[in-house]
Amino acid sequence: MLSKTVAELSGALTRKEVSARELTQAYLDKIHQLNPALNAYVTITAEQALAQADAADNRRAKGNASPLTGIPIAHKDIFCTRGVLTACGSHMLHNFIAPYDATVVERLEQAGAIMLGKTNMDEFAMGSSNETSWFGPVRNPWDQARVPGGSSGGSAAAVAAGLCAMATGTDTGGSIRQPASFCGLTGLKPTYGRVSRWGMIAFASSLDQAGPLTRSAEDAALMMNAIAGSDLRDSTCLELGFEDFTAKLNQPLAGLRIGLPREHFTKDLNPAVQTILQNAIRTLESLGASFKEVSLPNNYLSVPAYYVIAPAEASANLSRFDGVRFGYRCENPDNLEDLYKRSRGEGFGDEVKRRIMVGTYALSAGYYDAYYIKAQKIRRLIKQDFDLAFNDVDLILGPTSPHTAFKLGEKVSDPVTMYLEDIYTIAVNLAGLPGMSLPAGMLNGLPIGMQLVGPSLSESRLLNVAHQFQMNTDWHSQRPEV
């Protein structure tokens, strides 16, 4: 039962083959069994989950259930959850009990989803391997000597290992898509502003976006139906009415034009990964899609531009963590300055400190124009490259990551090498576009992800293509033997 998709579980609940309470207890038992090895969860809300399950069963008995009613979910620990620890993977927030729910959490609860707990993550979402967490690294269910990707690695590992049916993640530079690729999942980063950021602890406000991590595109569409939509509490959230993201899943792909960026298919891409993508391209061609080469000439500047803009915004956002109002506070400070310095020095980890210092430097007098403004100009050029490409094609296809999941400890001591892990994903965030990763093959027993990118607000088309691909392949059905 725990290997089924959300859509399959929803059907089983409707047919009364299983109750929400039975399903929830089964997941809790599996979490108890496997989480000590994987470290995917940092908080397990068993009592609350069983109470929500009973409410879901009552709701289904009355006939007013949604497709997600009774479906167990895990939330990335970046989302505030009322009355539950929200630590964001950091010692700084090791004692922060959120007094309210994030909009995403609130909407999924209204849909009847059952929260099993909060998942591990890179500290303040800064990392590509889930090794910067104060709670320790998460292990990939496909190979526990390897990383699950970051920063949403806990959510990805939980779904892949069958410790929940679906999970929330956030994507600032690839942090939904890269873990999805490493763990063999479907991960969607929506258009910037499509999903509310209210109650989601900020890393880089102009880049952060919440989205689903699921087994299939159909499941991702069901989650998007619940979480997408305008929110008056978030001024950056787009004012859009309800859209049914499942409505076009079965639309034929005849006439679909897909672009292949020449900058992504170079000698730097692992030949075995390229072969897997070529096989996926042939599958999509057989379904009616056509392909042509496109160019994203400024894509190579996305990593340096991102690592000026994101740290600059992080420097501003994390200034609120000062040891005064909430979170970690040092012991016996000598004065206010000592309180600030020691609380931040002891509360933040190395990677967070590194990015705060880079961001503060880029925003300082004399360097603002040379670095921050120039990076924003490059960001505009990257967006223009996508706009020009989408004049000729409907979507863009390429690799999510240059390789499979790497080993724990392999890159954590080399920040620059770690930053290059997101080389194919960062540009999508800089341009504010929707992008998703879906399983396209296996290499040496590990999953390989394929990335699809579309114009703004094209999530339904992305989900349609992914669903049609998954109806004709079984890569998304592969499960690790944990």
pLDDT digits (tens, 9 = 90+) for 467-477: 999 999 999 99
Rounded to two decimals, what is the model's pTM?
0.96
Amino acid identity of residue 72, one-letter, is P
Residue 325 banded pLDDT, cuts 50, 70, 90: confident
User: How far apart, in Å, are the Cα atoms of 258 and each of 91, 167, 383, 398, 409?
Assistant: 45, 29, 18, 10, 37
76 is catalytic: yes
Q: Is the peptide bond before 343 cis (omega within 30 degrees of 0)?
A: no
pLDDT of residue 366: 87
DSSP sequence for 137-178: ---BTTBTTB---SSSHHHHHHHHTTS-SEEEEE-SSSTTHH
Residue spans of beta strands (DSSP E) within 221-324? 257-261, 290-294
User: What separation in angstroms does the CA of 221 have from each of 217, 245, 309, 425, 428?
Assistant: 6, 5, 31, 21, 20
**CATH class in words for 6-254:** alpha beta
Domain assignments of the chain as residue spans, ordered by start: 6-254
Query: Mean pLDDT over all residues of the chain?
Result: 97
CA distance 411 to 150: 13
Q: Which candidate in 133, 175, 216, 302 is catalytic?
A: 175
For 81-98, what is the mean pLDDT? 97
Structure tokens at 117: 């707990």
Query: If you write DSSP's letter for every residue of 201-224 in order, what string do you get?
Result: PPSSTTT--EEEEESSHHHHHHHH
**Angle value at C-alpha 424, between 419 and 429, nearest 5 degrees:** 85
Q: Return phi, psi of residue 81, to 5°.
A: -135, 120
Average pLDDT of span 195-221: 98
How many whole angstroms separate alpha carbon 358 and alpha carbon 41?
30
Tokens of 59: 């709701």
Contact predicate 159/30, CB 8 Å: no
Token couple for 262: 């020449």
Please state the rounded mean pLDDT for residues 293-322.
96
DSSP labels, 369-385: IIIIIHHHHHHHHHHHH
Q: What is the pLDDT of residue 416?
A: 85
Using DSSP, state whether 396 is helix, strand or coil: strand
- Residue of 19, 90, 129, 151 marked catalytic: 151
One-letter amino acid at 155 equals: S
Q: What is the pLDDT of residue 268?
A: 81
DSSP label of 444:
T
The residues facing 79 across adjacent strands are 200
Please give the DSSP secondary-structure letter assigned to residue 181: H
Q: How far apart are CA 212 and CA 264, in angstroms?
A: 25
Q: Is 151 a catalytic residue?
A: yes
pLDDT of residue 261: 97
Q: Predicted confidence band at 223 (pLDDT cuts at 50, 70, 90)?
A: very high
Contact 76, 201 (CB under 8 A): no
Q: What is the pLDDT of residues 116-142, one digit of tens each?
A: 999 999 999 999 999 999 999 999 999
From 76, 118, 189, 411, the catalytic residue = 76
Residue type, 96: F
pLDDT band at 151 (very low <50, low <70, confident <90, very high): very high
Q: Which of 268, 296, 262 is nearest to 420 (CA)?
A: 268
Residue 355 pLDDT class (50, 70, 90 cuts): very high
Burial class (CB within 10 angstroms; exposed 0-12, middle 13-18, buried 19+) of 232: exposed
Instruction: Quote the percentage of the chain above a pLDDT of 70.
Output: 100
Residue 412: is its pLDDT beyond 90? no
Write out the two tokens for 140.
Answer: 């990939």
Structure tokens at 2: 């725990």
- Surface-to-core class of residue 30, CB atoms within 10 Å of its CB (0-12 exposed, 13-18 middle, 19+ buried): middle
Q: How far apart are alpha carbons 18 and 304 in whole angstroms?
A: 51
Residue 202's pLDDT band, with cuts at 50, 70 and 90, is very high
Give the burial string for 37-66 (b: 16+ CB within 10 Å, else e): ebbbbbbbbeebbbebbebbbebbeeeebb
Q: What CA–CA distance (Å, rounded) separates 101 from 111?
A: 14
Is it the case that residue 313 has pLDDT exceeding 90? yes
Q: Residue 70: which of 2, 158, 6 has the closest Cα?
A: 6
Strands, E assignment, 310-429 = 395-399
Neighbours of 73 (CB within 10 A): 29
**Token pair 């997600």 is at which residue?**
68
Backbone angles phi, psi at 43, to 5 degrees: -140, 135
DSSP strand pairing (395-399 vs 257-261): parallel
